């Protein structure tokens, strides 16, 4: 049994698992799903800074991801209902800004090839996405507007 434990320790060291780290996890027995998820899903610094290193590639993938998200909700509730909800008077401006920001981001990334403009378009698209998503939550946009005014109010 002892030889088998030593062989397992050597095999774990070859694979890259630290024996001390595993012993701490086994002793605590409090390893939750979130801890396991965070341990397995880590990005390198270069991967997490992709938006700054290559904003054109990020802008294209981010915009196509947003288009897929719109398509998936249209698949779930039906395209006619999706368009009806998007053109509802409560959210027509948010929809127009969101779609326009996606077009601007793709235009800057695919046609202009300017990294700074693409980065600004990504920021605009993200803000439009948040504002569009808030349009589906009752009173969310008015609450966020009031919080922003309160945070950035310069009058004392």
Per residue of the chain (156 residues), what is the pLDDT tens digit?
677 677 767 766 665 565 555 555 555 545 577 777 777 767 676 666 766 778 888 899 999 999 999 999 999 999 999 999 999 999 999 999 999 999 999 999 999 999 999 999 999 999 999 999 999 999 999 999 999 898 888 876
Which pLDDT belongs to residue 64? 95
Listed by start position, the domains of the chain span 2-42, 51-152
Which pLDDT belongs to residue 6? 74
Q: What are phi and psi of 137, to 5 degrees?
A: -105, 125
List all residues 6 or more positions away from 101 whose beta carbon is below 8 Å from its beta carbon: 121, 124, 125, 127, 128, 129
Which pLDDT belongs to residue 133? 93
In b/e form, how buried is each residue of 17-54, taking b as 16+ CB within 10 angstroms?
eeeeeeeeeeeeeeeeeeeeeeeeeeeeeeeeeeeeee
Which pLDDT belongs to residue 127? 95
What is the Cα–Cα distance from 103 to 60, expressed in whole angstroms? 10
List all residues 6 or more positions away from 63 whose beta carbon is below 8 Å from its beta carbon: 102, 105, 106, 109, 125
Instruction: Tell me the H-state helices in the chain.
Output: 2-15, 19-28, 33-40, 45-48, 50-53, 55-77, 79-86, 92-107, 115-134, 140-152
């Amino acid at each position: 049994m002892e030889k088998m434990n030593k062989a397992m320790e050597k095999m774990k060291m070859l694979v890259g698992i630290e024996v001390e780290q595993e012993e701490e996890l086994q002793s605590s027995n409090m390893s939750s799903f979130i801890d396991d998820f965070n341990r397995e899903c880590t990005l390198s610094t270069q991967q997490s800074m992709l938006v700054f290193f290559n904003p054109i590639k990020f802008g294209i993938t981010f915009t196509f991801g947003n288009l897929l998200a719109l398509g998936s909700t249209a698949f779930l509730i039906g395209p006619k209902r999706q368009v009806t909800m998007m053109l509802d008077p409560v959210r027509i401006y948010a929809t127009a800004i969101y779609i326009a920001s996606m077009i601007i981001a793709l235009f800057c990334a695919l046609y202009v090839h300017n990294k700074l403009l693409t980065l600004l378009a990504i920021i605009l698209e993200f803000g439009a996405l948040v504002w569009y998503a808030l349009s589906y939550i009752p009173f969310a946009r008015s609450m966020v507007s009031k919080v922003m005014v309160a945070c950035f109010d310069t009058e004392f």
